[in-house]
Structure 1
Amino acid sequence: MDNRRRRQGLRAAVPWIVPVLIIVFWHISTTTGVVAGNILPPPLEVVRSFIHLLENGELARNVGISTQRAVLGFLIGGSIGFLLGLINGVWFKAEHLLDTTIQMIRNIPHLALIPIVILWFGIGEQTKLLLVSLGVFFPIYLNTFHGIRSLDPKLVEMGRVYGYKGVPLYFHVILPGALPSILVGIRQSLGIMWLTLIVAETVAADSGIGYMAMNAREFMRMDIIVLSILLYALLGKLSDSLAKWLEKSWLRWHPNFTRKG
């Protein structure tokens, strides 16, 4: 039992070796003067800024606003992408009607739409939600569509042999078979979600982590700017960990997602 716990602890610690080494190198390079403080502040200075912003409530407010924007945009864009991917995947007539238009829109960089979106909606919440929704829509749509179309037809036939038809066939055969691909789309879209939000909040926002960083830039507060970057990285890591947890939980039946040892 002790050996097993040691192996589990070592396995959990290994992914953090490189980040810890980066922080150590960061601390040494800034405290010895190799890197000037006005270019990159020492880690302890960033920690002090973190504690200060946490105590006055500004940090919690901005992180909460950014998280709310990210989650709402993901739910809107992801839901639409999943439904269209499902419809086009199972209905060839729908694909023939809609897929060409979707692919044309997909090839337009959604971040390039920021100027026109600001002209339409200003810098309100609609702008951030629209941009995040567009960013997460396409990975989920494409992977849902691909997962359904790449499903082995023999599995569908076997499901019909067992009496599954209509909605039960989708829930018990088609969706489980397409789920690995759908979860890949979710994992990709979570990264795009934070990337889009970073740009949207630094260009058109009056609150959130991106706004906090841009406001700090006006006063040359490199410590707060670096803290904002680290917060985005941490939130992105938490999102990715959630996606990996969903893979382990929902794909226990799949041999490629079963961890051994």
Structure 2
Amino acid sequence: MSRTVRQIGIAADDSLALPNRGSTEPIRRGLARPRDPLRHWRIAGVALPFAFLACVEVLVRLSVLPEHLVPAPSTIAQTLWELGGARLGRHVGASCVRVLTGFGLGAMLALLLGAAMGLSRRLDALLDPAFQALRAIPSLAWVPILLLWMGIDEAPKITLIAIGAFFPVQLSVVAGIRDVDRKLIELGEVHRLDQRALFIRILLPASLPQIFTGLRTGLSLAWMFMVAAELIAATRGLGYLLSDGRETGRPDLVFGAILLLALLGKLSDSVLKAIEAHTLSWRDTATDQRSSRSVR
């Protein structure tokens, strides 16, 4: 009799537990990460450069493109391999250090001056005409002045890179602060926020999207100005490889340096883009709404 009661009790417990197990499955499914609607397009975007290089390889091997002007990607890869990991690493490392140092200095100064000009219309009216005039000067025009003032060491190279990164970041900071919705500022004034709290809690978060756009633009210009800096009075770096390949008539070395510049520029921009996505994860934009609808 007691065994029968125990069996009935166990069966009752199992029957009660089964609905609970089944009910947790929809919850677990609901908590699963939504599928990226652009997954196939992202994969195609990664594969597109490799497909282009494969087409160039075929066209060069079929003698459609002259190899002395457009070397095959396999020849470029062999040239970079023959340089050796240590030698190639020194060139890449020198360029990366210069870009990171120059971009860091230029962006930091641009953030400080841009914020001051965005908060003070008097300071903006005083400095903006000079900054706009300096921004129009080409990168190569700065080279003789910097060489005259600083010599041929690392200082003029880093300064030139900092100049290239400064102006887009400064412009984006000023525009980002000026474009903040007036209603948000009035809301802060209603809550009696002082100038410091108003800047930290309202102006800065609202202008961050535009500031990150300026940072990414400044980073790309830093790589461009780095090439201009290394074309003159440099003994190592990717710009030096470009100059060396041009002077020795080696297009494989020139294209190899260009491909490395493209790869490093893309990697650095991806890192900054990931930082932007993490910092601005609180946003609820129209793009997020469209992606969520497509997932549904």
Per the normalisation by structure 1, the TM-score is 0.90
Q: Is the CA contact (8 Å cut-off) linking 1:135 and 1:196 kept in structure 2?
A: yes
Match of 2:113 among 80, 84, 89: 84
Q: How big is the shift at 1:252?
A: 1.7
Q: Is the CA contact (8 Å cut-off) linking 2:231 and 2:243 kept in structure 1?
A: yes
SS of the equivalent of 1:108 reads coil
2:281 and 2:156 mapped to 1: Cα distance?
39
Radius of gyration: which is bigger?
2
1:134 and 1:202 mapped to 2: Cα distance?
17
2:132 and 2:144 mapped to 1: Cα distance?
22
Are 1:25 and 2:58 matched, yes or no?
A: no
Paired residues for 1:1-261 under 5 Å: 9-55=39-85, 57-256=86-285, 258=288, 260=292, 261=295
Q: Is the CA contact (8 Å cut-off) linking 1:118 and 1:204 kept in structure 2?
A: no
SS of the equivalent of 2:231 reads helix
Q: How big is the shift at 1:97?
A: 2.5
One-letter identity of the residue aligned with 2:249: M
Work out the number of aligned pairs and report it: 260
Q: Which runs of 5+ in 1 are unaligned?
A: none
2:110 and 2:138 mapped to 1: Cα distance?
17
Q: How big is the shift at 1:23?
A: 0.5
Per the normalisation by structure 2, the TM-score is 0.80
One-letter identity of the residue aligned with 2:259: L
2:264 and 2:137 mapped to 1: Cα distance?
27
Q: How big is the shift at 1:5?
A: 6.6
Q: CA RMSD in A?
A: 2.3
Q: Which runs of 5+ in 2 are unaligned?
A: 1-28
Moved more, 18-27 or 93-102: 93-102
1:166 and 1:174 mapped to 2: Cα distance?
10
Per-residue CA deviations over 1:79-129 (Å, capped at 9, x if unaligned) read 111111100111122223222222222232233221222222233211111
Show the counterpart of 2:24.
none
1:152 and 1:170 mapped to 2: Cα distance?
13
Q: Is the CA contact (8 Å cut-off) linking 2:99 and 2:223 kept in structure 1?
A: yes
1:121 and 1:6 mapped to 2: Cα distance?
51
Per-residue CA deviations over 1:173-195 (Å, capped at 9, x if unaligned) read 11001111111111111111111
2:36 and 2:162 mapped to 1: Cα distance?
42
One-letter identity of the residue aligned with 1:96: A
Q: How big is the shift at 1:218?
A: 3.2
Show the counterpart of 2:3.
none
Per the alignment, do residues 105 and 219 of structure 1 end up closer, same or farther by CA in structure 2, a change over 3 Å counting? Answer: closer
